[in-house]
Structure 1
Amino acid sequence: MAEILFPALFILLALGLPVAFAMMIAVFVALTFGSSYPHLVVVKEMFSGLDSFPLLAVPFFILAAEIMTGGAVTMALLRLAQSLVGHLRGGLGHANVVSSAMFAGISGSALADAAGPGSMMIRMMEKGGYDRPYAGALTIASAVVGPIIPPSITMIIYAMQDQQVSVGSLFMAGVLPGVLITFMVLLANAYVSRKRGYVSGDSMPTLLEIGRIFVFALPALSLILLIVGGIRFGVFTPTEASVIAVFYALIVGMFVYRSLKLRDLPGILLKAAMTSGAVLLILGAARAFAWVLIIEGIPQQLAGTIISWELSPIVFLLAVNLLLLAFGLFMDPLPGVMILVPILAPISFALGIDPNHFAIIVIVNLTLGLTTPPVGSLIFVVSSTVHLKPSTLIRELPPFFLALAAALLLITFVPSLSTWLPAVSGF
């Protein structure tokens, strides 16, 4: 079936079908022409992939992010970011990057980062004299931290595929890599801003002004401390944390910032339901796709082949980076995690690679795929926001590709970036 499955998938993706439908149709085609299994097995496997209590965290975190994405919350984060770095050369660009990192602690999604504060920062940057294509490209690059800084939907799915890690340990493992990626994108923006003469018209705020802005933004920033701290100290599980995040977001939106009204809730619930449905459909389709691979014995064959090569851990990680970057050209992170992690994680563990370190490498690699054509979702989200052709944005991305590649290499060759914080946190 595999000789039918993969060609069918690539053809459907090339025709522009959404990833979930491409995987489902490819599985149906493979079963029709390559096996005697009934088609009902696809539905069964999709349901089995979604019949999981930990998976409840996904729609609840999505709902919490939708509630927290109100105007007051987003503006609080933007004001704080601008007060910290807005006075520097390329300050509005720096504020874009820093606000994306802050918002990552609320959304857990790169696409939410780009569509939320990213879209607002693009308008502000354009008014500040930045080229619109550059502002869009910077937003694409800065949104990469969305699934890296906790909470992260991708990390929740990864922990369900690899029993060597937990959601809590991955949340802690993603903090320093997320900060590193943010720093590298800031460096790239500083270089381009100096080269093109982007300057800042803002004066440096006083410490008192920064303090006031920080206090105003603190309720929004506290969500990440609530989630990670509660999981770390065993107060609640990741699934329970997602529910608490929803109630916390409601309290902050309605009673602290007072930007959320009861009449807004039906629209928020509908949007969160549609986003959750799309995510869960992808996960179900990925489960059916992975089932075909398993019954064909492909994971076992591939694992045996790679182990027989007797690669060193470093060479294996470099090969994994190349494989995942290529895979990310055509596949979103969530199905990538469900398909590849059961194959690659046991091999990395057998080679003595720390499971948290390997998990972050996989997640960062697949997330970078959101910035690369032909399937890069971030490119198309930002393209619709700035009303520019994707090709126009892609021409502005090379400096950020270099910055993100440098961050990936550091994460690969410096394991402590991913392992130190989980270790000192007791995971």
Structure 2
Amino acid sequence: MLLLIGALFALFLFLGQPVAFALGLAAIPVFVFSGTMPPSVAIQKMVSATQSFPLLAVPFFILAGNLMNASGITERLVGFSRLLTGWIAGGLAQVSIVLSFMMGGISGSAVADAAMESRLLGPSMLRQGYAPATAAAILAFGSIITATIPPSIGLILFGFINEVSIGRLFLAGILPGALLTAVLMLAAWIVAKRRGYVPDLAAPPKARDLWASFRESVWALMFPVILIVGFRFGIFTATEAGAFLVFYAAFIGRVIYRELTLARMRAALEDTVQDLGMIMLLIMMAGVLGYAITLERAPQHSAEAVTALTSDPVGVLALVVLVLVISGMFLEGAANILLVTPIVMPMLVQAGWDPIHMGVLMVLLINLGGLTPPVGVIMFTVCGVLGVKTGAYARASLPFFLALAIFFVVLTAVPWLSTYLPRTLM
């Protein structure tokens, strides 16, 4: 039955069905041909998959991010990032990477960050002489930083589906996110030096200019800080934090910046409904398929297969990494988190790996799939905006793939990067 489920899922994807529909349709044989399972159970599982208090954090954080974007905070963060790093070699490349680190606390989505920065910084990079493929690679790779910075939607979904503390995951992603930012900035600096890309600014900014820009941006930069403080002192859960940040974003937009008009607020609500509709449909269908493959004992069979190959923790992790990278090439990130991680997570825990550490690592690996063909959503988003062919993008991406490989080796070998803040602050 598992082979039939897998074959149907692959067939529906090949036929161009949306991933959510492919997930749900692939589960049909279990409920139709089992003989003991009434089809109505599928409907029950669709509904029960959405009945989760922690999952309520998703719409709150999406709405808060959209409200902040509608408040003009993005332009302020661009200005601050430009002053902070624009004087370094590859100025605009550095600006885009630092901006992704800051925007992680607002958008929580790598695809949203890639789309925004491609439209905002892409044309300026081309005017300054960046090769279109190089600009696309820098913007695409920088966007996955947002997967680690609270309130990352990927970390919320991972915590929900694998019953891991979302608050701890938020804290766990901060140091890896900072390290990834530094690694990508170094890679961009090397590429800029080799290709002669000049800084965006002729000299480092004056302290008073930097301070003035920081004051303009501080309300957005406080976004993740509020989360950390709230979790540390037990002020709120992840869901309650999302609700508070919606109020915070609306207050900043209406009272502080005074740019959040009713029209912009309505547009933010519409964008939130569209984003949430896609995510919730994936969650509902993944709930059905997850129940089906659990009935067929897929996690147990997978664990037995891996154990037959190796019992070494590093070997188990290597196999899981391979599975996640391959599945990430064909599945959108949210679907991958909801479908694949519940199967591989028990193996990793049994092998002795920390679930918090693995959560950050797996969410980043899954986002890596968005940078590669054939279904790389981030790749196609950036290439579509800048008019770059995927072949040229792939060649320009090689230095950044090397940088990511080094980063993943360090992150895997040094669990402290992910576990220090959760253990210290919670």
Q: Distance in 2 between matches of 1:265 and 1:35?
A: 51
Q: 1:394 to 1:94 in 2, by over 3 A?
A: same
1:282-293 aligned within 5 A: 282-293=282-293
1:255-274 aligned within 5 A: 255-274=255-274
Which is worse superposed, 344-353 or 45-54? Answer: 344-353
Q: Distance in 1 between matches of 2:329 and 2:200?
A: 39
1:178-193 aligned within 5 A: 178-193=177-192
Residue 171 of structure 2: aligned partner: 172
* TM-score computed with the length of structure 2 as normaliser: 0.95
Residue 112 of structure 2 corresponds to residue 112 of structure 1: yes
Contact 1:100–1:118 (8 Å) recurs in 2: no
Q: Distance in 2 between matches of 1:243 and 1:300?
A: 38
1:304-319 aligned within 5 A: 304-309=304-309, 311-319=311-319
Q: Deviations over 1:87-143 (max 9, x none)?
A: 111011100110011000111110111122342011221222212222122111000
SS in 2 for 1:157: helix
Q: Distance in 2 between matches of 1:150 and 1:368?
A: 18
- Runs of 5+ in structure 1 lacking a partner? none
1:314-333 aligned within 5 A: 314-333=314-333
Q: Distance in 2 between matches of 1:14 and 1:197?
A: 43
Q: Distance in 2 between matches of 1:347 and 1:18?
A: 29
Q: Distance in 1 between matches of 2:259 and 2:384?
A: 26
Contact 1:74–1:117 (8 Å) recurs in 2: no
Q: Distance in 1 between matches of 2:200 and 2:49?
A: 52
Contact 1:4–1:34 (8 Å) recurs in 2: no
1:227-306 aligned within 5 A: 227-306=227-306
* TM-score computed with the length of structure 1 as normaliser: 0.94
Contact 1:105–1:149 (8 Å) recurs in 2: yes
By how many angstroms is 1:31 displaced? 4.6
Q: Distance in 1 between matches of 2:296 and 2:172?
A: 34
By how many angstroms is 1:236 displaced? 0.8
Residue 19 of structure 2: aligned partner: 19
Q: Distance in 2 between matches of 1:201 and 1:273?
A: 37
Residue 397 of structure 1: aligned partner: 397
When the two chains are superposed, the root-mean-square deviation of aligned CA atoms in Å is: 1.8
Residue 412 of structure 2: aligned partner: 412
Q: Distance in 2 between matches of 1:204 and 1:284?
A: 51
By how many angstroms is 1:37 displaced? 4.1
Q: Deviations over 1:169-190 (max 9, x none)?
A: 1111101111121112112211
Residue 224 of structure 2: aligned partner: 224
Which is worse superposed, 243-252 or 4-13? Answer: 4-13
By how many angstroms is 1:258 displaced? 1.9
Q: Distance in 1 between matches of 2:11 and 2:49?
A: 25
Q: Distance in 2 between matches of 1:360 and 1:181?
A: 12
Contact 1:8–1:29 (8 Å) recurs in 2: no
By how many angstroms is 1:371 displaced? 0.9
- Runs of 5+ in structure 2 lacking a partner? none
Q: 1:254 to 1:387 in 2, by over 3 A?
A: farther
Count how many residue pairs are aligned between Structure 1 and Structure 2. 425
Contact 1:96–1:118 (8 Å) recurs in 2: no
Which is worse superposed, 252-261 or 344-353? Answer: 344-353
Q: Distance in 2 between matches of 1:22 and 1:241?
A: 33
Q: 1:87 to 1:342 in 2, by over 3 A?
A: same
By how many angstroms is 1:343 displaced? 2.5
Q: Distance in 2 between matches of 1:181 and 1:364?
A: 10
SS in 2 for 1:248: helix
Residue 125 of structure 1: aligned partner: 125
Q: 1:317 to 1:145 in 2, by over 3 A?
A: same
Paired amino acid for 1:333: G
Q: 1:30 to 1:387 in 2, by over 3 A?
A: farther
Q: Distance in 2 between matches of 1:200 and 1:12?
A: 48
1:377-388 aligned within 5 A: 377-388=377-388
SS in 1 for 2:150: coil
SS in 1 for 2:88: coil
Paired amino acid for 1:251: F
SS in 2 for 1:10: helix
Which is worse superposed, 80-89 or 201-210? Answer: 201-210
Q: Distance in 2 between matches of 1:124 and 1:50?
A: 42
Contact 1:329–1:374 (8 Å) recurs in 2: yes
Residue 156 of structure 2: aligned partner: 156
Residue 195 of structure 1: aligned partner: 194
By how many angstroms is 1:80 displaced? 1.0
Q: Deviations over 1:335-359 (max 9, x none)?
A: 2222233322222222222221111
